[in-house]
A and B are shown apart, each in its own frame.
Chain A
Amino acid sequence: MKLIYEKSVEGRKGYFLREDPYKEISLKDCIPEYALSRTKKELPEVSEVDVVRHFTVLSKLNYGFDDGFYPLGSCTMKYNPKLNEHLALLDNFIYAHPCVDEDFVQGSLQIIYELNQYLSEITGMDQFTLSPAAGAHGELTGVLIMRKYFMDRGELRHKMLIPDSAHGTNPASAAMADFNVVEVKSNKRGGIDLVELHKLMDEDTVGLMLTNPNTVGLFDENIEEIAKVVHSKGGLLYYDGANLNALLGIARPGDAGFDIAHLNLHKTFSTPHGGGGPGAGPVGVKKHLVRYLPTPIVSYNGEKYFFEEVGEKSIGRLSAFFGNFSVLLKAYVWILSMGDEGLKETAKTSIINANYVMSKLKKFYKPVYDRFCMHECVLTGREYKKYGVKTLDIAKRLMDYGFHPPTIYFPHFEPYAEETIMIEPTESESKENIDLFIDTMIKIAEEIKAHPEIVKQAPHITPISRPDEVRAARNPTLIFKEINENR
């Protein structure tokens, strides 16, 4: 499709602003010559209608949750309630400036304070910071807290244990706190290999970052033992909350021995993914770590909500202001909509839906671990390799049938998880949609045997066919340049 620049017509305007009411003031008297751009910046010149049409057409090239089934494992693509969107757009919230005195923003502060309490109750942690802007930002917060904790005790620890099944953000976050990443292998049941953990966990180790349920969709049944091993060497246990959806109201990381937990409000708590963000990644800690939280936090004295600095042990500030307020508000509204009963039902339904998918598909796509799963199941496309069909092809073919593909090639660790297909239906999907997805996956399995080319060339009816990603990386075109500029 044409770029907005290719629709530009000299002199066309999309925005009308009142005439300059300060004619007596000359720009030259305001801004020194060295700082004043000699020409106007070459943005496009288009009308309001041009803009609306352009972006409406662009939007239609996207696939959103509201368009259909979105079984992206580990991403928890659940429904984003319209009520939440409405309430996040109230004037008193959206026009609230972050630097005003507390008496102007008692309402916004109340939301932050109460959400902190709800998240603490749901996870069994003692205190949250709501300022991290995303899951990885929460991880950075968490690993910095771990670092500060040991510095405060006068201990220098260098290693961070991370399972081979972990999200890439875990090792990347640990590296940002200058820790050496040590990989822990998964065992043949899909959990942490305890023998190896015993071996690796020592007094030079900060702790373990663990996703539980993990990325193969299994709850690590040895969690109590894992916590014991980590704590016995003075380490800290970090909870990656990517998969908290399965545990809501059933079990709490805080009761399972975790010292720090980050959540992804854009996964578990229904806030939209927005094409890749903004989300929010609050971090909760147990009492012994509260003093290291980023500053500031919101407190309440029975009459008034107010900001409180965390103190000199704080890891400092993580964001320009207090995090993604409108995202926090949407999560707050979702919790009120669900209550205890609804949260439990969320976890339960998500687990039933995932097991249902696995039980119906396991004959066609072998599960990485043939056990009951939690909120997502991880299957493989390995046996179709002999037809020359890769998991990628299966994913692409799903688009022709109107589905967003599941997560593929993640997790990846040998020898168990290869050519993976990670399916997370969430609680939002109805049985008939899930059945339709299952039937389609089976149909694709048949297609592979009969007409593998159809699958290998898929998708066929999407706005574009497979793009040449190698060309994009080898010969990067990262901004639009008019032809004459290229010369």
Chain B
Amino acid sequence: MKYIPNTDNEKKGMLKEIGVSSFNELIKDIPENIRLKRALSIPGPFDEEEIKERVYLIAGKNVNFFSFKPLIGAGAYRHYIPEVIKAIVSREEFYTSYTPYQPEISQGNLQSMFELQTHLAKLTGMDVVVPSLYDGASAVAEAVLMAVRITHKNRIIVSSLVHPHYREVITTYTEPHDIEIIELPFDKGCTDFSDLKNQLNANTAAVVVQSPNFFGGIENIAAIASEIHDTGALLIHSIAESISLGLLTAPADMGVDIVAGESQSFGMDLNFGGPYNGYLATKTRFLRQLPGRIAGETVDKNGKRAFVMTMRAREQDIRREKATSNICSNHALNIVAANVYLSLLGKNGLYQVALLNTKAAHYLKRKFAETNNFEVFEYPFFNEFVVKSKIDISEVKNRLSRKSFIPPLRVDRFYKKCENYLLFTVTEIFKREELDKIIEILGVSR
């Protein structure tokens, strides 16, 4: 049988050595009543070539995504992924290994965790980092639970421009815990903080702001930090597009207490939504409330540098119901991907990618402003921006897909009142000529 080395003869011999005459003697504990007495109704077994043909055929039912460049982002970004990353993460030592509970034979994973922790600390200005949670949504939900534990308060104020799916996940995670969630409205492309002062009270655990926000808008986080801290609440900064950190002020320098990020942009494929990789970054004083695995440096018996998983007393396998979270498996292989990506791009590369994203997106927006088909809005943004279309939305979709572009996101999918608004995302994968072509396609009246 495929993937099972032992032959029938060998199995027979082993049964004999175990001291039974048939396999059935080994499974006597399974009551007859609940045994399955028929074949499972599933296809296969197929040989390798048959499977390839089948799956290629299914893959062919998707559009040819490689040549369809996406003008859609909304929490999942297509950036260029250098070949080095795939070459490294497809090494069996990384992808077939287990969680590094045995540090003597897991230094590769452990050092890689430690290095990504350092990269993310440099990008966010924070002291401590959890390098992997499932995704940006679970990261921000965990950050909210963490803030509730730290402050012993239960009111959370969330910007309505935090990714709508992230907000849904916050709701799912907090629902059992008597946590009150208040939403702040938005004005144009940024959160309207004018009511924040009134909403903040002595029972507020945290304010959650995403920047760049769901509309790509850059929030003036520093401006709200002190009024939040004055009430004893924490400031949580959600980041869906972490490439922005190559250009934007480190969250710690803006008064942020907890960064809850998504690192998909650091070398991870779109993959129809996953696996991506969430992370948390915070101050040392909140270390013991962090969920998930953290690597730390130490020495071995001979004084040689070594890395281990540390601060383990927070985790479920030790603390059971008193753990800071139930998380066990995280997205470890994507730690390696993000580490390789950030190491390779380095100080200058990440800056350049972030710069090109910003400029390309602003270039397209300015061009839209020159056409009669779109209304544009003035707000600071990174690589995504909202426009109001004067042509029919389905017409926009058709024109773009005919020329092999994935159309932008319809904003009314999430914000019902925003009919005819489109969220355009432009990353470095677009050449200037392609952006000109998009204007040509959408700028004409027919």
Contacts and interface: CB of A to CB of B under 8 A. Distances in A.
A and B from one complex: yes
Given A91-B64, A136-B326, 7 more contacts: A85-B90, A124-B36, A221-B30, A223-B34, A275-B98, A337-B45, A342-B44
Nearest to B320: A171
B317 interface: yes
Given A80-B95, A111-B58, A275-B97, A59 B346 contact: no
B64 A337 contact: no
B274 A324 contact: yes
Contacts of A176: 173, 176, 325-326
B374 interface: no
A473 B359 contact: no
A29 to B, nearest CB: 8
Contacts of B68: 95, 104
11 contacts: A37-B250, A41-B351, A78-B3, A83-B48, A104-B68, A168-B328, A224-B33, A321-B272, A322-B272, A338-B3, A427-B4
A342 B2 contact: yes
A110 B353 CA distance: 35
Interface in A112-170: 118, 121-122, 124, 133-137, 139-140, 144, 147, 167-169
Interface stretch (B120-128, B181-189, B193-201, B226-234): B120-128
B23 A95 contact: no
B45 A479 contact: no
A97 interface: yes
A275 B41 CA distance: 33
Residue of B128, B176, B293, B360 with most chain A CB atoms under a 10 A cut-off:
B176
A54 interface: yes
A43 B272 contact: no
Contacts of A390: none
A404 B105 contact: yes
Contacts of A45: 346-348
Interface residues of B, number: 201
A445 interface: no
Contacts of A121: 40-42
A52 B431 CA distance: 28
Contact of A477 (B13, B245, B272, B297): B297
A97 B65 contact: yes
A21 B432 contact: yes
Interface stretch (B152-160, B202-210, B329-337, B438-446): B329-337
B343 interface: yes
A20 B318 CA distance: 52
Contact of B34 (A251, A340, A356, A469): A251
Given A17-B352, A65-B97, A278-B331, A98 B273 contact: yes
A51 B84 contact: yes
A195 interface: no
Contacts of A48: 82, 84, 344
B46 A147 contact: no
Nearest to A305: B61
A94 B26 contact: no
A223 B34 CA distance: 9
A66 B331 contact: no
Contacts of A364: none
B169 interface: yes
B267 to A, nearest CB: 11
Contacts of B416: none
Interface residues of A, number: 194
A100 B72 contact: yes
A320 B75 CA distance: 8
Nearest to A83: B48
B14 A91 contact: no
B311 A473 contact: yes
A316 B171 contact: yes
A239 interface: no
B270 A94 contact: yes
A118 B95 CA distance: 25
A64 interface: yes
Nearest to A458: B104
Interface string A405-448: 10000100000000000000001111100000000000000000
B31 A320 contact: no
Nearest to A317: B168
A3 B118 contact: yes
Interface stretch (A196-204, A283-291, A343-351, A381-389): A343-351
B369 interface: no
A281 B308 CA distance: 26
Contact of A168 (B33, B271, B316): B316
B376 interface: no
Contacts of B295: 478
Given A274-B95, A319-B137, A339-B43, A43 B34 contact: no
A485 to B, nearest CB: 11
A61 B301 CA distance: 17
Given A43-B119, A466-B104, A479-B117, A20 B93 contact: no
B105 A55 contact: no
A60 interface: yes
B397 A101 contact: yes
Given A25-B362, A325-B273, A351 B23 contact: yes
A181 interface: yes
Given A224-B33, A336-B54, A40 B348 contact: yes
A305 B185 CA distance: 35
Contact of B172 (A1, A110, A318, A429): A318
Given A27-B358, A317-B172, A464-B103, A44 B347 contact: yes
Given A122-B40, A275-B100, A99 B74 contact: yes
Contacts of A459: 104-105
A323 interface: yes
B10 interface: yes
Contact of B111 (A3, A80, A99): A3
A212 to B, nearest CB: 10
What are the 10 A-B residue pairs with the smallest beta carbon separation, nearest first? A321-B273, A339-B44, A274-B333, A98-B273, A276-B332, A339-B45, A278-B275, A95-B65, A172-B326, A62-B108
B269 A95 contact: yes
Interface string A309-321: 0000001111111
A403 to B, nearest CB: 10
A486 B84 CA distance: 33
A90 to B, nearest CB: 5
B28 interface: yes
B391 interface: no
B94 interface: yes
Nearest to B246: A41
Interface in B28-84: 28-31, 33-36, 39-46, 48, 51-52, 54-56, 58-66, 68, 70, 72, 74-76, 78, 82, 84
B94 A275 contact: yes
Contacts of B112: 55, 58
Contacts of A3: 111, 114-115, 118
Contacts of B41: 121, 340
A320 B262 contact: yes
Residue of B1, B165, B218 with most chain A CB atoms under a 10 A cut-off:
B1
Nearest to B50: A336
Contacts of A37: 247-250
B346 A147 contact: no
B138 interface: yes
Given A51-B343, A255-B34, A478-B129, A98 B270 contact: yes
B265 to A, nearest CB: 13
A36 B82 CA distance: 26
A52 B328 contact: no
Contacts of B4: 342, 345-346, 349, 427-428
Contacts of A279: 329
